[in-house]
Structure 1
Amino acid sequence: MTRRIVVVQAGLGQPSSTRLLADRLATSTRDAMLERGEEAEVTMVDLRDHAHELANALLTGFAAGGLREVLDDLSQADALIAVTPVFQASYSGLFKTFFDVLEDGLLRGLPVLLAATAGTARHSLVLEHAMRPMFVYLKATPVPTAVFAASEDWGGATSPSSTAAAPGLSQRIDVAAAELADLVTGRPATLRRANGLADPVPFEELLDR
Protein backbone atom coordinates (compact mmCIF):
# COMPACT_ATOMS: atom_id res chain seq x y z
CA MET A 1 0.00 0.00 0.00
CA THR A 2 1.21 3.49 -0.88
CA ARG A 3 0.41 6.30 1.56
CA ARG A 4 0.33 9.94 0.58
CA ILE A 5 2.35 12.44 2.59
CA VAL A 6 2.21 16.18 1.96
CA VAL A 7 5.11 18.32 3.18
CA VAL A 8 4.33 22.02 3.60
CA GLN A 9 7.34 24.25 4.19
CA ALA A 10 7.44 28.03 4.49
CA GLY A 11 11.12 28.77 3.89
CA LEU A 12 11.71 31.96 1.93
CA GLY A 13 15.26 31.47 0.70
CA GLN A 14 16.62 29.19 -1.98
CA PRO A 15 18.18 27.20 -0.48
CA SER A 16 16.88 27.51 3.07
CA SER A 17 17.38 25.58 6.30
CA THR A 18 13.59 25.18 6.45
CA ARG A 19 13.50 23.37 3.11
CA LEU A 20 16.52 21.32 4.15
CA LEU A 21 14.77 20.20 7.33
CA ALA A 22 11.61 19.41 5.36
CA ASP A 23 13.60 17.22 2.97
CA ARG A 24 15.26 15.36 5.85
CA LEU A 25 11.93 14.74 7.58
CA ALA A 26 10.35 13.50 4.35
CA THR A 27 13.22 11.10 3.67
CA SER A 28 13.25 9.75 7.21
CA THR A 29 9.48 9.28 7.19
CA ARG A 30 9.62 7.45 3.87
CA ASP A 31 12.32 5.15 5.27
CA ALA A 32 10.31 4.53 8.43
CA MET A 33 7.25 3.64 6.35
CA LEU A 34 9.27 1.14 4.32
CA GLU A 35 10.48 -0.47 7.55
CA ARG A 36 6.81 -1.01 8.39
CA GLY A 37 6.06 -2.57 5.02
CA GLU A 38 4.40 0.38 3.32
CA GLU A 39 5.52 2.87 0.69
CA ALA A 40 5.07 6.63 0.88
CA GLU A 41 4.45 9.06 -1.96
CA VAL A 42 5.70 12.50 -0.89
CA THR A 43 4.41 15.81 -2.27
CA MET A 44 6.61 18.79 -1.38
CA VAL A 45 4.89 22.17 -1.18
CA ASP A 46 7.04 25.33 -1.12
CA LEU A 47 4.68 28.03 0.11
CA ARG A 48 6.84 30.80 -1.36
CA ASP A 49 5.65 29.62 -4.79
CA HIS A 50 2.02 30.25 -3.76
CA ALA A 51 2.37 33.55 -1.90
CA HIS A 52 0.31 35.58 -4.38
CA GLU A 53 -2.36 32.88 -4.61
CA LEU A 54 -2.60 32.81 -0.82
CA ALA A 55 -3.14 36.56 -0.68
CA ASN A 56 -5.84 36.30 -3.35
CA ALA A 57 -7.52 33.46 -1.47
CA LEU A 58 -7.69 35.59 1.68
CA LEU A 59 -9.32 38.41 -0.26
CA THR A 60 -11.72 36.35 -2.36
CA GLY A 61 -12.38 33.38 -0.11
CA PHE A 62 -11.58 31.02 -2.98
CA ALA A 63 -8.35 29.16 -3.77
CA ALA A 64 -7.37 28.94 -7.42
CA GLY A 65 -4.56 27.69 -9.64
CA GLY A 66 -1.67 25.87 -8.06
CA LEU A 67 -2.97 26.57 -4.57
CA ARG A 68 -6.19 24.74 -5.37
CA GLU A 69 -4.13 21.72 -6.43
CA VAL A 70 -2.18 21.85 -3.17
CA LEU A 71 -5.38 21.89 -1.11
CA ASP A 72 -6.76 18.99 -3.12
CA ASP A 73 -3.56 17.02 -2.50
CA LEU A 74 -3.82 17.78 1.21
CA SER A 75 -7.42 16.64 1.31
CA GLN A 76 -6.33 13.21 0.09
CA ALA A 77 -3.21 12.95 2.24
CA ASP A 78 -2.58 10.31 4.87
CA ALA A 79 -0.18 12.59 6.77
CA LEU A 80 1.22 16.12 6.84
CA ILE A 81 4.71 17.37 7.65
CA ALA A 82 4.55 21.10 8.47
CA VAL A 83 7.77 23.13 8.69
CA THR A 84 8.12 26.86 9.31
CA PRO A 85 10.90 29.34 9.99
CA VAL A 86 10.49 31.34 13.19
CA PHE A 87 9.76 35.04 12.71
CA GLN A 88 9.13 37.38 15.65
CA ALA A 89 9.00 34.45 18.10
CA SER A 90 6.28 32.57 16.19
CA TYR A 91 5.52 30.76 12.94
CA SER A 92 5.87 32.87 9.82
CA GLY A 93 3.01 34.86 8.33
CA LEU A 94 3.22 32.87 5.11
CA PHE A 95 2.88 29.62 7.05
CA LYS A 96 -0.13 30.90 9.03
CA THR A 97 -1.80 32.27 5.91
CA PHE A 98 -1.78 28.83 4.30
CA PHE A 99 -3.64 27.30 7.22
CA ASP A 100 -5.99 30.28 7.37
CA VAL A 101 -7.34 29.47 3.90
CA LEU A 102 -8.05 25.78 4.56
CA GLU A 103 -11.64 24.62 4.48
CA ASP A 104 -13.10 23.83 7.89
CA GLY A 105 -12.34 20.28 8.93
CA LEU A 106 -9.77 19.62 6.21
CA LEU A 107 -7.15 18.50 8.75
CA ARG A 108 -9.53 16.66 11.07
CA GLY A 109 -7.82 13.53 12.37
CA LEU A 110 -4.83 13.95 10.05
CA PRO A 111 -1.46 12.86 11.54
CA VAL A 112 0.94 15.82 11.53
CA LEU A 113 4.66 16.12 12.22
CA LEU A 114 5.57 19.63 13.39
CA ALA A 115 8.95 21.23 12.76
CA ALA A 116 10.56 24.67 12.85
CA THR A 117 13.89 26.37 12.17
CA ALA A 118 15.56 29.46 13.61
CA GLY A 119 18.98 30.97 14.12
CA THR A 120 19.04 30.11 17.81
CA ALA A 121 17.64 27.38 20.03
CA ARG A 122 15.99 30.05 22.21
CA HIS A 123 13.03 29.89 19.82
CA SER A 124 12.43 26.15 20.19
CA LEU A 125 9.35 26.61 22.40
CA VAL A 126 7.51 27.94 19.35
CA LEU A 127 6.72 24.32 18.57
CA GLU A 128 4.75 23.80 21.77
CA HIS A 129 3.45 27.31 22.48
CA ALA A 130 2.35 28.29 18.96
CA MET A 131 2.35 25.43 16.44
CA ARG A 132 0.90 22.57 18.47
CA PRO A 133 -2.07 24.60 19.80
CA MET A 134 -2.93 25.72 16.27
CA PHE A 135 -2.99 22.18 14.89
CA VAL A 136 -4.96 20.90 17.86
CA TYR A 137 -7.50 23.66 17.18
CA LEU A 138 -7.66 22.49 13.55
CA LYS A 139 -8.49 18.99 14.87
CA ALA A 140 -5.31 17.45 13.44
CA THR A 141 -3.34 14.80 15.34
CA PRO A 142 0.24 16.02 15.98
CA VAL A 143 2.81 13.34 16.81
CA PRO A 144 4.42 13.66 20.28
CA THR A 145 7.90 14.62 19.05
CA ALA A 146 8.28 17.96 17.27
CA VAL A 147 11.58 18.85 15.59
CA PHE A 148 13.43 22.13 16.00
CA ALA A 149 16.64 22.97 14.15
CA ALA A 150 18.85 25.93 15.00
CA SER A 151 21.79 27.03 12.87
CA GLU A 152 24.25 25.08 15.01
CA ASP A 153 22.31 21.86 14.38
CA TRP A 154 23.57 21.69 10.82
CA GLY A 155 26.88 19.92 11.10
CA GLY A 156 27.92 22.09 14.02
CA ALA A 157 28.14 25.02 11.64
CA THR A 158 26.55 28.41 12.01
CA SER A 159 25.40 28.55 8.39
CA PRO A 160 22.42 26.63 6.96
CA SER A 161 24.52 26.01 3.85
CA SER A 162 25.99 23.08 5.75
CA THR A 163 23.89 20.06 4.78
CA ALA A 164 25.12 17.64 7.43
CA ALA A 165 22.77 17.40 10.40
CA ALA A 166 24.35 17.14 13.83
CA PRO A 167 23.74 13.81 15.66
CA GLY A 168 21.17 15.33 18.02
CA LEU A 169 19.08 16.71 15.17
CA SER A 170 19.34 13.47 13.19
CA GLN A 171 18.07 11.54 16.19
CA ARG A 172 15.10 13.90 16.68
CA ILE A 173 14.23 13.60 13.00
CA ASP A 174 14.29 9.80 13.14
CA VAL A 175 12.20 9.64 16.33
CA ALA A 176 9.54 12.00 14.97
CA ALA A 177 9.45 10.23 11.61
CA ALA A 178 8.99 6.87 13.33
CA GLU A 179 6.10 8.26 15.37
CA LEU A 180 4.45 9.60 12.22
CA ALA A 181 4.95 6.29 10.41
CA ASP A 182 3.45 4.38 13.34
CA LEU A 183 0.40 6.63 13.31
CA VAL A 184 -0.09 6.38 9.54
CA THR A 185 0.42 2.64 9.17
CA GLY A 186 -1.89 1.93 12.10
CA ARG A 187 -4.94 3.35 10.35
CA PRO A 188 -6.83 2.81 7.07
CA ALA A 189 -5.82 4.77 3.99
CA THR A 190 -7.39 8.21 3.85
CA LEU A 191 -10.43 8.66 1.64
CA ARG A 192 -11.45 12.28 2.03
CA ARG A 193 -13.05 14.95 -0.06
CA ALA A 194 -10.95 17.80 -1.39
CA ASN A 195 -13.45 20.51 -0.51
CA GLY A 196 -17.11 21.31 -0.34
CA LEU A 197 -17.24 21.65 -4.14
CA ALA A 198 -15.87 18.13 -4.68
CA ASP A 199 -19.13 16.59 -3.44
CA PRO A 200 -21.73 19.36 -3.77
CA VAL A 201 -25.14 19.18 -2.15
CA PRO A 202 -27.83 18.85 -4.84
CA PHE A 203 -29.75 22.08 -5.44
CA GLU A 204 -33.09 20.37 -4.76
CA GLU A 205 -31.80 19.27 -1.35
CA LEU A 206 -30.70 22.82 -0.54
CA LEU A 207 -34.23 24.07 -1.31
CA ASP A 208 -35.65 21.57 1.18
CA ARG A 209 -33.48 22.81 4.05
Structure 2
Amino acid sequence: MKLVVVSAGLSVPSSTRLLADRLAESTVRRVPDTDVEVIELRDLAVEIAHNFVTKFPGPNLEKALESVAEADALIVVSPVFSASYSGLFKSFFDVIDKDALTGKPVLIAATGGTGRHSLVLDHALRPLFGYLRAVVVPTGVYAASEDFGAEGLAERVDRAAGELAALLAPRPTAEVPPQDRGDGPAQGRAPRTVGSVEDRPLGTGSLKDRVVPFEQQLAALKVR
Protein backbone atom coordinates (compact mmCIF):
# COMPACT_ATOMS: atom_id res chain seq x y z
CA MET A 1 0.00 0.00 0.00
CA LYS A 2 1.38 3.41 -0.97
CA LEU A 3 0.34 6.63 0.75
CA VAL A 4 1.54 9.93 -0.72
CA VAL A 5 1.49 13.10 1.39
CA VAL A 6 1.47 16.44 -0.44
CA SER A 7 2.51 19.36 1.76
CA ALA A 8 2.39 22.93 0.45
CA GLY A 9 4.03 24.58 3.43
CA LEU A 10 6.66 27.22 2.61
CA SER A 11 8.57 27.68 5.86
CA VAL A 12 10.97 25.37 7.69
CA PRO A 13 9.73 24.13 10.10
CA SER A 14 6.18 24.28 8.77
CA SER A 15 2.89 23.86 10.62
CA THR A 16 1.49 22.49 7.36
CA ARG A 17 4.11 19.72 7.32
CA LEU A 18 3.52 19.08 11.03
CA LEU A 19 -0.20 18.50 10.41
CA ALA A 20 0.58 16.34 7.37
CA ASP A 21 2.91 14.15 9.45
CA ARG A 22 0.31 13.70 12.18
CA LEU A 23 -2.31 12.62 9.66
CA ALA A 24 0.10 10.18 8.01
CA GLU A 25 1.19 8.66 11.34
CA SER A 26 -2.41 8.17 12.46
CA THR A 27 -3.27 6.50 9.14
CA VAL A 28 -0.25 4.16 9.22
CA ARG A 29 -1.19 3.01 12.74
CA ARG A 30 -4.41 1.68 11.23
CA VAL A 31 -2.90 0.33 7.99
CA PRO A 32 0.55 -0.93 9.06
CA ASP A 33 1.78 -2.27 5.70
CA THR A 34 1.87 1.19 4.15
CA ASP A 35 4.77 2.99 2.51
CA VAL A 36 4.64 6.77 2.98
CA GLU A 37 6.17 9.28 0.57
CA VAL A 38 6.12 13.02 1.36
CA ILE A 39 6.17 15.58 -1.46
CA GLU A 40 7.23 19.09 -0.37
CA LEU A 41 5.88 21.45 -3.00
CA ARG A 42 8.25 24.28 -2.07
CA ASP A 43 11.07 22.14 -3.51
CA LEU A 44 9.19 21.89 -6.82
CA ALA A 45 8.06 25.52 -7.16
CA VAL A 46 10.48 26.43 -9.98
CA GLU A 47 9.80 23.26 -11.98
CA ILE A 48 6.04 23.76 -11.60
CA ALA A 49 6.36 27.29 -13.00
CA HIS A 50 8.53 26.10 -15.90
CA ASN A 51 6.02 23.36 -16.67
CA PHE A 52 3.30 25.94 -17.32
CA VAL A 53 5.48 27.63 -19.92
CA THR A 54 7.27 24.69 -21.53
CA LYS A 55 4.57 22.02 -21.03
CA PHE A 56 7.33 19.60 -19.96
CA PRO A 57 7.94 18.69 -16.30
CA GLY A 58 11.43 18.72 -14.86
CA PRO A 59 12.85 15.46 -13.46
CA ASN A 60 11.81 16.11 -9.84
CA LEU A 61 8.32 17.25 -10.80
CA GLU A 62 7.89 14.28 -13.14
CA LYS A 63 8.80 11.90 -10.29
CA ALA A 64 6.31 13.62 -7.99
CA LEU A 65 3.54 13.40 -10.57
CA GLU A 66 4.24 9.69 -11.07
CA SER A 67 4.14 9.11 -7.32
CA VAL A 68 0.74 10.78 -7.02
CA ALA A 69 -0.65 8.79 -9.96
CA GLU A 70 0.63 5.49 -8.51
CA ALA A 71 -0.51 6.17 -4.93
CA ASP A 72 -3.30 4.17 -3.35
CA ALA A 73 -4.34 7.25 -1.35
CA LEU A 74 -3.34 10.88 -0.77
CA ILE A 75 -3.12 13.24 2.18
CA VAL A 76 -3.04 16.83 0.92
CA VAL A 77 -2.37 19.82 3.17
CA SER A 78 -2.24 23.49 2.17
CA PRO A 79 -1.72 26.70 4.10
CA VAL A 80 -4.49 29.26 3.70
CA PHE A 81 -3.67 32.31 1.60
CA SER A 82 -6.37 34.93 0.89
CA ALA A 83 -9.09 32.64 2.28
CA SER A 84 -8.21 29.74 -0.05
CA TYR A 85 -5.50 27.17 -0.78
CA SER A 86 -2.12 28.52 -1.81
CA GLY A 87 -1.23 29.24 -5.42
CA LEU A 88 1.59 26.70 -5.27
CA PHE A 89 -0.82 24.01 -4.06
CA LYS A 90 -3.30 24.76 -6.86
CA SER A 91 -0.55 24.95 -9.48
CA PHE A 92 0.70 21.48 -8.62
CA PHE A 93 -2.72 19.93 -9.09
CA ASP A 94 -3.20 21.97 -12.26
CA VAL A 95 -0.32 20.14 -13.95
CA ILE A 96 -1.44 16.67 -12.87
CA ASP A 97 -3.13 14.53 -15.52
CA LYS A 98 -6.89 15.06 -15.33
CA ASP A 99 -7.54 11.34 -14.75
CA ALA A 100 -4.75 10.69 -12.24
CA LEU A 101 -6.96 11.07 -9.16
CA THR A 102 -10.10 9.36 -10.44
CA GLY A 103 -11.46 7.12 -7.68
CA LYS A 104 -8.44 7.75 -5.43
CA PRO A 105 -9.10 8.28 -1.69
CA VAL A 106 -7.97 11.74 -0.56
CA LEU A 107 -7.83 13.26 2.91
CA ILE A 108 -7.90 17.07 2.78
CA ALA A 109 -6.40 19.36 5.42
CA ALA A 110 -5.33 22.97 5.83
CA THR A 111 -3.55 25.28 8.24
CA GLY A 112 -4.03 28.96 8.97
CA GLY A 113 -3.31 31.70 11.44
CA THR A 114 -6.89 31.92 12.67
CA GLY A 115 -9.88 29.62 13.01
CA ARG A 116 -11.96 31.95 10.82
CA HIS A 117 -10.52 30.25 7.72
CA SER A 118 -11.75 26.75 8.58
CA LEU A 119 -14.41 26.87 5.85
CA VAL A 120 -11.62 26.64 3.27
CA LEU A 121 -11.97 22.86 3.48
CA ASP A 122 -15.54 22.82 2.16
CA HIS A 123 -15.44 25.96 0.00
CA ALA A 124 -12.13 25.35 -1.78
CA LEU A 125 -10.38 22.00 -1.25
CA ARG A 126 -13.38 19.68 -1.37
CA PRO A 127 -14.73 21.15 -4.66
CA LEU A 128 -11.25 20.97 -6.22
CA PHE A 129 -10.82 17.26 -5.54
CA GLY A 130 -14.44 16.56 -6.35
CA TYR A 131 -13.78 18.06 -9.78
CA LEU A 132 -10.75 15.76 -10.13
CA ARG A 133 -13.11 12.83 -9.35
CA ALA A 134 -11.23 11.79 -6.22
CA VAL A 135 -13.00 10.14 -3.28
CA VAL A 136 -12.69 12.74 -0.52
CA VAL A 137 -13.09 11.39 3.03
CA PRO A 138 -15.95 13.00 4.97
CA THR A 139 -13.79 14.59 7.68
CA GLY A 140 -11.37 17.33 6.69
CA VAL A 141 -8.91 18.72 9.23
CA TYR A 142 -8.23 22.42 9.71
CA ALA A 143 -5.63 23.55 12.24
CA ALA A 144 -5.17 27.15 13.29
CA SER A 145 -2.01 28.21 15.09
CA GLU A 146 -3.70 27.92 18.50
CA ASP A 147 -4.93 24.38 17.75
CA PHE A 148 -1.48 22.81 18.00
CA GLY A 149 -1.10 21.55 21.55
CA ALA A 150 -4.76 22.25 22.36
CA GLU A 151 -7.58 19.76 22.86
CA GLY A 152 -9.62 18.66 19.87
CA LEU A 153 -7.04 18.52 17.10
CA ALA A 154 -5.87 14.99 17.93
CA GLU A 155 -9.45 13.71 17.83
CA ARG A 156 -10.08 15.30 14.43
CA VAL A 157 -6.83 13.88 13.09
CA ASP A 158 -7.71 10.38 14.28
CA ARG A 159 -11.25 10.57 12.91
CA ALA A 160 -10.09 11.64 9.45
CA ALA A 161 -7.25 9.09 9.41
CA GLY A 162 -9.70 6.36 10.40
CA GLU A 163 -11.96 7.24 7.50
CA LEU A 164 -9.03 7.13 5.08
CA ALA A 165 -7.81 3.82 6.52
CA ALA A 166 -11.28 2.35 6.08
CA LEU A 167 -11.08 3.09 2.35
CA LEU A 168 -7.66 1.42 2.16
CA ALA A 169 -8.54 -1.71 4.12
CA PRO A 170 -9.32 -4.79 1.98
CA ARG A 171 -12.99 -5.71 1.95
CA PRO A 172 -14.14 -9.32 2.37
CA THR A 173 -15.77 -10.87 -0.68
CA ALA A 174 -19.45 -11.56 -0.12
CA GLU A 175 -20.47 -15.19 -0.56
CA VAL A 176 -22.67 -15.69 -3.61
CA PRO A 177 -25.80 -17.80 -2.99
CA PRO A 178 -25.77 -21.19 -4.79
CA GLN A 179 -28.70 -20.24 -7.02
CA ASP A 180 -26.68 -17.26 -8.32
CA ARG A 181 -23.41 -19.14 -8.83
CA GLY A 182 -24.75 -21.43 -11.53
CA ASP A 183 -23.29 -24.53 -9.84
CA GLY A 184 -26.58 -26.28 -9.23
CA PRO A 185 -30.08 -25.65 -7.92
CA ALA A 186 -30.60 -24.35 -4.41
CA GLN A 187 -31.98 -26.80 -1.86
CA GLY A 188 -35.70 -27.27 -2.21
CA ARG A 189 -35.87 -25.50 -5.55
CA ALA A 190 -36.53 -27.19 -8.87
CA PRO A 191 -33.98 -26.52 -11.62
CA ARG A 192 -34.98 -24.30 -14.48
CA THR A 193 -35.24 -25.85 -17.90
CA VAL A 194 -34.63 -24.29 -21.28
CA GLY A 195 -37.80 -23.08 -22.90
CA SER A 196 -39.74 -22.40 -19.70
CA VAL A 197 -40.04 -19.66 -17.12
CA GLU A 198 -41.27 -19.65 -13.56
CA ASP A 199 -44.53 -18.20 -12.33
CA ARG A 200 -44.36 -14.47 -11.92
CA PRO A 201 -46.73 -12.60 -9.59
CA LEU A 202 -49.08 -10.22 -11.35
CA GLY A 203 -51.48 -8.27 -9.19
CA THR A 204 -53.35 -10.69 -6.96
CA GLY A 205 -52.96 -13.67 -9.29
CA SER A 206 -50.16 -15.12 -11.40
CA LEU A 207 -49.32 -15.42 -15.07
CA LYS A 208 -47.67 -18.53 -16.48
CA ASP A 209 -45.84 -18.03 -19.77
CA ARG A 210 -44.80 -20.84 -22.05
CA VAL A 211 -41.75 -20.09 -24.17
CA VAL A 212 -41.68 -21.82 -27.57
CA PRO A 213 -38.18 -23.23 -28.31
CA PHE A 214 -36.38 -21.64 -31.24
CA GLU A 215 -36.24 -24.95 -33.16
CA GLN A 216 -40.05 -25.17 -33.18
CA GLN A 217 -40.38 -21.58 -34.34
CA LEU A 218 -37.89 -22.26 -37.18
CA ALA A 219 -39.72 -25.44 -38.21
CA ALA A 220 -43.01 -23.53 -38.36
CA LEU A 221 -41.46 -20.99 -40.70
CA LYS A 222 -40.20 -23.73 -43.02
CA VAL A 223 -43.66 -25.32 -43.22
CA ARG A 224 -45.12 -22.02 -44.35
TM-score under structure 1 length normalisation: 0.80
Task: Determine if the alignment matches structure 1 residue 61 to structure 2 residue 43.
Answer: no
| Equivalence for 1:180 | 164
C-alpha RMSD over aligned residues: 1.2
| Equivalence for 2:112 | 118
**What is the rounded CA distance, in whole Å, between the counterparts of 1:62 and 1:139 in structure 2?**
24
**What is the rounded CA distance, in whole Å, between the counterparts of 1:15 and 1:187 in structure 2?**
38
1:182–1:119 CA distance, 2 compared to 1 (3 A): same
**What is the rounded CA distance, in whole Å, between the counterparts of 2:171 and 2:141 in structure 1?**
23
| Equivalence for 1:16 | 14
* Identical amino acids, percent of aligned pairs: 58
Gaps of 5+ in 1: 156-165, 189-209
- Measure how far apart 1:186 and its partner are: 3.8
Instruction: Kindly name which structure, 1 or 2, has the bigger radius of gyration based on alpha carbons.
Output: 2
Task: Determine if the alignment matches structure 1 residue 85 to structure 2 residue 79.
Answer: yes
**What is the rounded CA distance, in whole Å, between the counterparts of 2:170 and 2:104 in structure 1?**
13
| Equivalence for 2:217 | none
- Measure how far apart 1:167 and its partner are: 2.7
**What is the rounded CA distance, in whole Å, between the counterparts of 1:187 and 1:49 in structure 2?**
37
CA deviation map 1:118-165 (0-9, x unaligned): 01010000000000000000000100000000011111xxxxxxxxxx
Letter of the 2:129 partner, please give it. Answer: F
**What is the rounded CA distance, in whole Å, between the counterparts of 2:129 and 2:159 in structure 1?**
20
CA deviation map 1:5-27 (0-9, x unaligned): 00001000000100100111111
- Measure how far apart 1:187 and its partner are: 6.3
| Equivalence for 1:106 | 100
Q: How does 1:11-50 map to 2 (within 5 A)?
A: 11-34=9-32, 39-50=33-44
Letter of the 1:22 partner, please give it. Answer: A
- Measure how far apart 1:100 and its partner are: 0.4
CA deviation map 1:86-142 (0-9, x unaligned): 000000000000000001201000000000000101000000000000000000010
Q: 1:72 aligned to 66, 75, 78, which one?
A: 66
Letter of the 1:124 partner, please give it. Answer: S
Letter of the 1:15 partner, please give it. Answer: P
Gaps of 5+ in 2: 173-224
Number of residue pairs aligned between Structure 1 and Structure 2: 172
| Equivalence for 1:150 | 144
CA deviation map 1:145-203 (0-9, x unaligned): 00000011111xxxxxxxxxx23000000000000000111469xxxxxxxxxxxxxxx
**What is the rounded CA distance, in whole Å, between the counterparts of 1:6 and 1:13 in structure 2?**
20
**What is the rounded CA distance, in whole Å, between the counterparts of 1:186 and 1:83 in structure 2?**
26
SS in 2 for 1:167: coil
**What is the rounded CA distance, in whole Å, between the counterparts of 1:187 and 1:136 in structure 2?**
24
